[in-house]
Structure 1
Amino acid sequence: MKTTNFTISLLGFALLLGSSFTAAQTVAGTLLNIQHEWASCQYNLVEKDLKISCLEKVIIANENALKITPASSKLKIWLAINNSSLAGAKGGLGALSLVKKSKQLLEEVIAVNPAVLEGSAYTSLGSLYYQVPGWPIGFGNDKKAEVMLKKALAINPNGIDPNYFYADFLAQNGRKKEAIAHFKKALLASLRPARPLADKGRLQEIANKLKELEN
């Protein structure tokens, strides 16, 4: 009887493990699709209405994916990124509700899994803090921005995104020499084979920023 129970337990464990792998693979595949669609919206579309429409569709896909796997920190981060990007595309005070949603999602991730996606929650929240207006309009705060961005760099010191956003923050605060150093460090980051369009777009942004700072 003990042997039979042990065999059943092993079978149950195998089924559970298989289910977990399937769920993980599903999230990974869905996440990559969302990342690709975001990059296409962000870097292939210039016309405002087209970009807004594109990002809105990605957000719907992202939200639907989260309904299936609501505990996924990776999908939460990307929903925050998509909402923030849509806010940037729309502009104006109407975008504040979107960035507030992003902030809440990122704080949820940081509370339970701050190192996921190489600290991207810290990078994204830091970028919100320095780009969103401060009180009484929004929650922008340069001190909090620098704390978040430095935490992202502590996790992923050579990454293209944490160095880019920290450099951008420094540039906006008049710290030109430091900004140039981090932009150049971002240029040296290893490329992400699964995300060629995102890397191409980010590298072009870095080149543009450096040109502004060095002229």
Structure 2
Amino acid sequence: MKKMPYAFSSLLVFLFVLAACTHLPEQSVQKTETGTISAITEADFRICDPCTRNQAQGWAAAARRGDGSSALKAANCYAFLVGQGKDKTLRLADAVKGRKLAEAAVIMFPKSGLAHYLYAYLTGLQAENDPLRGLELVPVIEHEATLAAKFNPEVNGAGPDRMLGELYLRAPGAPLSIGDLEKAAAHYRRAIAIAPKHIENQLGLVETLIEEGEDEEACAHLHGLLSGMRPARSSE
């Protein structure tokens, strides 16, 4: 079977990465007596919500006083700052700070899919900015994303399964790491079942199918995706 051109495959990767952060309407995060966060509140939490460093530091200070809501907000803010940063050293420092805050949120909200998702996400950002520890951190990302998928698979447009799909797609295979194209495809399919309108879920599956050599199925999915998009209105 003829493989797709490399440039086309690279374009899909670019589009997938471009759509990494999904923005949703913002609401405050509230702790409950059971150590969880309401499903409605989690669904409305904005991942990668724009913020300032002063806000991150203020929320982090409140988190140190035991405020779980602030721990989540601070972790999320540091994730945003990592994405905006140009200095690699500062990006790594922000990722580490955010990861510690997300870990604190997990301790306070052990059954929160959002908390586990942010912990996995910031661990991934730390690995991205500290390549020497990348493989060491992969099991942490896998564990936390799996828990996020268990407690709230809908968070960030099926973010936990999308994250697991990307992890299994990009990590080296055995014996070095956990890379597994079959698992990647399964998680992307689950993400599509949960949030079919999120284009990054669809593109992740397309890229995985290309890597598996299933170009015909990849083309069919891509055609279906493009067919479902509304054409731009022409100006009259």
Fold-level match, TM-score > 0.5?
Answer: yes
The percentage of counterpart residues that share the same residue type is 22
- In 2: Cα distance, 1:147 partner to 1:133 partner: 17
CA distance in 2, matches of 1:118, 1:28: 21
Alpha-carbon offset, residue 136 of structure 1: 0.6
What is the distance in 2 between the residues matched to 1:32 and 1:122?
Answer: 22
Give the stretch that moved more between structures: 66-75 or 109-118: 109-118
Q: Which amino acid in 1 is paired with 2:189?
A: K
Residues 51, 167 of structure 1: alpha-carbon distance in 2 compared, 3 angstrom cutoff: farther
Task: Determine which of 72, 75, 79 is the counterpart of 1:34.
Answer: 75
Letter in 1 for 2:157: E
Structure 1 residues 168, 27: closer, same or farther in 2, change over 3 A?
Answer: farther
1:171–1:179: 8 Å Cα contact kept in structure 2?
no
Give TM-score scaled by structure 2 length: 0.58
Q: Which moved more, 1:98-107 or 1:160-169?
A: 160-169
Q: What corresponds to 1:138 in structure 2?
A: 177
- Correspondences of 1:124-203 after superposition (within 5 Å): 124-170=163-209, 172=211, 175=215, 178=219, 181=222
Tell me the residue number matched to 2:91.
51
Question: Which residue is 1:120 aligned to?
Answer: 159
Alignment partner of 2:124 out of 79, 84, 104: 84
For each residue in 1:48-80, what CA deviation from the matched residue of structure 2 results, as whole angstroms up to 9, or x when unmatched? 222211111111111122222222111101111
| 1:160–1:34 CA distance, 2 compared to 1 (3 A) | farther
SS in 2 for 1:135: coil
How many angstroms does 1:98 deviate by? 1.0
- Name stretches of at least 5 consecutive residues in structure 1 with no aligned partner: 1-17, 190-215
The RMSD of aligned alpha carbons is 3.6
Alignment partner, residue 12 of structure 1: none
Aligned length: 169
C-alpha separation in 2, matches of 1:46 and 1:19: 34
Change in Cα spacing, 1:142 to 1:29, as seen in structure 2 (3 Å) is: same
**Cα deviation digits, residues 11-44 of structure 1 (max 9, x gap):** xxxxxxx9739965776665454333212202x1
Give the structure 1 partner of residue 136 of structure 2: 97
Give the aligned residue type for 1:103.
E
More helix by share: 1
1:161-186 CA-to-partner distances (Å, cap 9, x unmatched) read 4234334435555649649938x76x
State the distance in 2 between where 1:28 and 1:55 align. 19
* 2:145 equivalent to 1:109: no
